Amino acid sequence: MHTLPHPHLPVHASSGHLLRAKALQDYLAAVHAVLAAYREIPPVTLYVLDEAAWGRYSRYPYGFAFQRTGPAGVLEVFAPARYPERLLTRLAEVFLEAARAGARLPGPPRAFLDLALAHEYAHAAAIAWRLRVRVRWIDEFIANYLYVLALAQQHPERYQSARAWAAFTAHLTPTRTDLGGYERYPRKPLRDQLWFQGQFTLFAAHLLETDGDRLLRELLARAPLKRATVHRVLVQLEPRFRGWFARFGRLGA
């Protein structure tokens, strides 16, 4: 295991993958620079691991990046050193469905997965800022909002790419589209997960493009968010959430 020191994003990487680890560290450091301007974020440790090392750290399937809180409350993000062919094949099969529905593929699956790593860092920021409420769709939406906000300010071309991928996955046909189903069935089919994430990204981008960072500033002023009141708080801060909720209700009826 190799180490890449950094004051905000120290990295531990499997042997032979230092170049990829450095590229991902630089990407997330730029995301950190945007978000830390709003409120301090403690160091987040990034692990870039091969499949053997991954299995020593987590039982989570190898390939998809994820975020967790480690021992002593240390925030961690895990990324694969390479994407296994089984995952790329699975993604390609789902993406083919959207392409058949008339959507244009924005790029290779690897680019989609690398881009989404910033979403996992955004989860860590939300935890640090006490914006996580353990309502799955709300936690995912807030992470998407932080993710697109950071990309828009630091990586405009990647922001446009994130929007393009979200619009692409909107052409998928999920088994359920109501938010209640998203809560009750956490292990949703991949196309459902991608469809929901796309919807969250598109709405977050819409809020960002019409109101800038107002929602983030007001959420931070209300932190810590509470599970029992977060729906009401969201509608109070941004009335457009009401119509968005209703849209999911109609789709899921």
Which residues are within 8 A (CB) of 185 and not within 5 positions of it... i.e. 6 or more apart?
176
Return the pLDDT at 181: 64
CA distances 102 to 109, 175, 201, Å, are: 18, 19, 20
CA 194, chain centre distance (Å): 11
For residues 45 and 24, is the Cβ–Cβ distance under 8 A? no
What pLDDT, on the 0 to 100 scale, is given for residue 185? 52
Contact 143, 129 (CB under 8 A): no
Domains of the chain: 2-252 (1.10.390.10)
Q: Is the peptide bond between 84 and the residue preceding it cis, with omega within 30 degrees of 0? A: no
- Residues of the chain scoring pLDDT < 70: 181-187, 249-253
Q: What is the pLDDT of residues 61-107, one digit of tens each?
A: 899 999 999 888 899 999 999 999 999 999 999 999 999 999 999 99
Kindly report the pTM of this predicted structure. Answer: 0.93
pLDDT value at residue 202? 95
